[in-house]
Amino acid sequence: MERDELRELLERLHDKYNREEFIAHDPIAVPHRYAERHDREIAGFLAATIAWGNRKAIVRNGLRMMQYMDDAPADFVRHASERELALLDAYVHRTFNGRDLRDFVLALRRMEELYGGLGAFFESRYEALGTIPAVLSAFRREFFAAQHAPHCEKHLSAIDRGAACKRLCMFLRWMVRRDARGVDFGAWRRIPMSALYLPLDLHAGEMGRALGLLVRRRNDWRAVEEITAALRTFDPDDPVRYDFALFGAGMDGYLDN
């Protein structure tokens, strides 16, 4: 595909899927329930954590998770009693179980107490470290500094082991990106959109290779760097906006044509 033709396809699919109608059927619907920043941060992080598998199930179970947290995630993280935390044990989404959720809530509580919330941590760490990979590494270390069962560690990817960190990159897209469309929140203004990396999953990888944006066969962090660098040639200020295009290409059955 010629470069101009590829640019036109990316722009068309971005325009088609980066719109309000996209929200209800995507995991971002979970944090969109809330208007307050800390609620959105916590709901978004937890929704992104369970974002693998069937999208309808992800949205359904993300909303159910919020019900377990009294539909007030920030207040629950800050103030839930031992009895209320114990009620989380009944929750399950695939391999993410109630004990994992409890450990994540307690880790989030520690982040609130030490740093003033997820956004404050990510923004301050980016200003100090200057790159998203370094921030992702620091975040995982700090998150699991709280007491936890080893089982829950599988649900937060380790960039230090070369993981693509798709769910963390998606969460960052939600919180950092901003435009007039209103899908992403754009709440974390101290991190530039240009610093973000593509949330690379199986479908985005397939589309990236089909469109000539990605050569590497493994969907790991090196592939994330490669495809994001390719997208930066089309929009250096906001490369991750093309996440919508790669998703849209999959929805439109590009590989079937």
**pTM, to two decimals:** 0.96
Q: What is the pLDDT of residues 132-144, one digit of tens each?
A: 999 999 999 999 9
Q: What is the pLDDT of residues 132-179, one digit of tens each?
A: 999 999 999 999 999 999 999 999 999 999 999 999 999 999 999 999
CA distance 251 to 228: 20
Percentage of residues of the chain with pLDDT beyond 90 = 93
Main-chain phi, psi angles of 224, to 5 degrees? -60, -45
